[in-house]
A and B are shown apart, each in its own frame.
Chain A
Amino acid sequence: MSDTEKLPKIGEKRSDSNQPLILPGIHRYQFFSNLKDRGWTLNLDRVALFGVVSALLATIIKPLLRGNPATIYCYECRACYATQDRCPVGISLQAELVVAGRVLDYDRFIRNGGLKCIRCGNCQSYCVQYLPLPKMFEVMQQETRRAIVAGIVPRESLTRGLEKGLVGKEFIDDVVRSIA
């Protein structure tokens, strides 16, 4: 039987005998290619899977290349939120800053007070994995500064950040210059 003949036609019921056998009586359906009989077109599914895998790779490779690899290990468990009043500048959602640092989401970083962090390290003691949060925030602060200077960060994010007092004194000059 040729390979083309083995393929089920669209709309045709899949056949158990075409699936790999992993144990007596158990066939394996998990491979994406085995779902080909379900789709509108094969290419749509392939493109979608390519998109998913690319997104995953981008999420992992980006922080590695940008020198912020510790962000990959964040559980996103939000244990750091217990820092509360012990954060001297009143940042309440530290995990948001970690995620923003991982994917370079400047707006999210500024919105959650990343630019006013003074890297005191108080939140680090609440992290269940003791991740180096101050270091991670510092890397992202520098990335954000670079983006602000290059004019990449939308003006609205910066204006909102300034209005709400979310910009620390070491970044104010850059932010004001970018808005002007």
Chain B
Amino acid sequence: MEFLGYITLAIFLGLMLLTLFGYIRTPVQTVLVLSTILCLIVGGLFRFTAYGWNSVALMPNEFLGGIILHPITALLTGLFLAGGLKASGGFEALKAILGYLRRSPIGLVGTLVILINLPVISSLPCGRILAAALLPLLFTFGFEGGLGILTKSQLIVLIGAFTRNSMGSCGPSPIGGVGQIAEGFLGSFFPTASDGILRAPQAFALMLGTAVVALFLKFISQKLYPNDVALREAPAGIATQGGGSEIRIKAPIQGFIALAIFVMSLLIAIFQPLGKMPVQSVLVAGALLMIVVCRIRLNDLLEGIILLPVTAMAAGFLAAGALAATGGFVALASILNSLVSIKALGVAGMLAIFVQFQTILPLSCARILTAALVPTLYLFGPAQFNFLSWSQLAIVMAAYIINATTSCGPSPLGGGGMMGEGTMRAETGFIKGAYTFASMAVMAPMAAIFMKFLNLSVFQPSDPGFARNIYMIAAFALVIAGVNITFILLGSRIFNPNVSRNFFVQLLGFLFSGGIGGGILAFALFELDTTKICQGVLGGIIAAALIGLMAPKTLSKRLTATLSGPTP
């Protein structure tokens, strides 16, 4: 049966890579279902030979076990609510409120910074819920959207950074977020882990990572792919309204009421003041209230539903269920485990690669692989292999989870980042470099450091030196952000019209940052053990090479062809 696992893993990885590189040109759902069916056939043959027909007949049930219903239903109900908000004029109301905020002391920039970080503040179980509601609003800030507050370049940064923040906000969510999967496992040692042991490291890393994404989009992506965003600049003679006169936005009263219902629903879902209840029930109740109070139709709610992520997620879970049932994940775990025996990598190098695994293979929802890989990571701790102590395991979990959570952002297979690319009218893949760089170089090491120096102290109150630890976090945050921002600014200065050279420069940046990230992770785990740090650096470089090579060199030819067939 072990052999079966390697076969099904090869089928899954092969199909995914062929789709990622554009050799298979079908919607991702079809590919994932195909993978499931192939696993069913191969697994069925093996099972029939080994255990007989009864075992084969139960395989579909085992496959269905891979489907995690909560994010799918939460996303659907969230989109319901977003549809209601749109139909009742809630966006206009939000625009009016943002207008007031712009005139307040925090100004336009402060308002936009709050807006960009709104997803991590609200932390819903799927980032697409808020993204679906707010991305159309962000679009209106540009010339084409009507407000004309921001230039094309600024709008790209705003939309890209907001989408990055959204597609990571499902990690720290306390209502069924991705991070809770790992918190559950850490509950084996830390009794209060499910109160949110991973929430703060994720949120902190995500905020810092969002800022780095904004810089990357501004200085790297726009130079690498200058012709791949179809947004238009304001025509000559029409200045943007950043500092000049502005249009007073009027919103209907229903819009304000709908917005209030939307916010109240989110608050009730997150803080549960009325007792424990599923988030889905709260959001549906909010949507029904909108129908009654704001006089919108059921059809308006249904129009808010975005089918692609829902079906892609479901298909991904199904494929993951098929892999789990046929031993594919066991095979993957043993491959990763075998990396430890390579002397140059060791445990530190293997973990530096492991934490980046989901950024290397980004799927439409982080949970598809997380549900399988977190148990594997757990086994690296005292539960089985004893590579790590409980505290070290918590540090690796923090780094792994933020990386996994944010992996749906750069996924071209129906990932959440595609919503941002669609809104900025960019080619698929435009944001990939920025998102993967920030996840790899900033978020993973930062989450590890935050966990080591602050969160473990909080969850182990006997640990002294709390104030010193705060300084350590501040110092590491400055170093991690500083080094990566320097790379971004340096890279942008040496770019020239030669696409291949620019790609090579970008890859070098990935390798340097990946190495530093791996080294920091090793330091967080093993402190000043030079051998381990070197192993971590090497592991980080290997992971960075895989990630950097997957970032597209050019977009127009390759990805347009991928999505739409060759342009005549």
Contact = CB atoms under 8 A, between A and B. Distances in A.
A80 B194 CA distance: 9
A7 to B, nearest CB: 14
B475 to A, nearest CB: 33
Contact of A59 (B64, B145, B174, B231): B64
A154 B188 contact: no
A45 B30 contact: yes
A51 to B, nearest CB: 5
Contacts of B27: 32, 35, 38-39, 45, 48
A166 interface: no
Contacts of A126: 187, 194
B102 to A, nearest CB: 21
A99 B308 CA distance: 25
A108 interface: yes
B26 A23 contact: no
A156 B231 CA distance: 61
Given A39-B30, A40-B26, A95-B184, A75 B176 contact: yes
Contacts of B560: 13
B188 A31 contact: no
B52 interface: yes
Given A23-B145, A48-B34, A77-B176, 13 more contacts: A13-B568, A24-B146, A32-B307, A48-B30, A49-B311, A51-B318, A55-B67, A56-B67, A75-B180, A77-B183, A82-B184, A82-B191, A154-B54
Interface string B408-437: 000000000000001101000000000000
A52 B315 contact: yes
A82 B278 contact: no
A100 interface: yes
Interface in B102-124: none
A36 to B, nearest CB: 9
Interface string A122-155: 0000101110000000000000000000011111
A76 B371 CA distance: 9
A17 interface: no
B69 A25 contact: no
Interface string B161-177: 00000000000001111
Interface in B520-547: none
A26 B34 contact: no
A82 B145 contact: no
B55 interface: yes
Nearest to B137: A23
A26 B136 contact: yes
B29 A81 contact: no
Interface in A78-104: 78-82, 84, 92, 95, 99-100, 102-104
B384 interface: no
A59 B69 contact: yes
A26 B139 contact: yes
A75 B69 CA distance: 8
A100 B58 CA distance: 12
B564 A12 contact: yes
Contacts of B36: 51
A25 B145 contact: yes
B371 A82 contact: no
A84 B188 CA distance: 6
A128 B196 CA distance: 11
B307 A25 contact: no
23 contacts: A12-B568, A23-B139, A29-B308, A30-B307, A32-B307, A51-B318, A53-B311, A53-B314, A55-B318, A58-B64, A80-B184, A81-B184, A81-B185, A82-B187, A84-B188, A92-B188, A102-B65, A103-B61, A103-B67, A107-B58, A128-B180, A151-B54, A153-B54
B176 A40 contact: no
B66 to A, nearest CB: 9
Main secondary structure of the interface of B (DSSP, over half): helix
B58 A105 contact: yes
Nearest to A82: B187
Given A35-B27, A45-B27, A48-B29, A82 B311 contact: no
A100 B65 contact: yes
B308 A78 contact: no
A14 B276 CA distance: 47
B234 interface: no
B181 A76 contact: yes
Contacts of B73: 72
A102 B66 CA distance: 11
Contacts of A39: 25-27, 30
Interface in B327-376: 371
A154 B315 contact: no
Nearest to B182: A78
A161 to B, nearest CB: 14
Interface residues of A, number: 66
B268 to A, nearest CB: 14
B149 to A, nearest CB: 15
Contacts of A59: 64, 67, 69
Contacts of A102: 65, 69
Contact of A77 (B52, B72, B144, B180): B180
A57 to B, nearest CB: 10
Nearest to A10: B565
B33 A51 contact: yes
Residue among A30, A45, A53, A99 with the most chain B CB within 10 A?
Answer: A30
B75 to A, nearest CB: 12
Contacts of A74: 69-70
A25 B139 contact: yes
Contacts of A153: 54, 58
Contacts of B63: 55
Contacts of B307: 30-32
A38 B26 contact: yes
Contacts of B146: 24
A1 interface: no
Contacts of B30: 39, 44-45, 48-49
B97 interface: no
A28 to B, nearest CB: 9
A22 interface: yes
Residue among A39, A76, A106, A153 with the most chain B CB within 10 A?
Answer: A76
B469 interface: no
A77 B181 contact: yes
B565 A128 contact: no
Contacts of B42: none
A78 to B, nearest CB: 2
A141 to B, nearest CB: 16
A74 B125 CA distance: 13
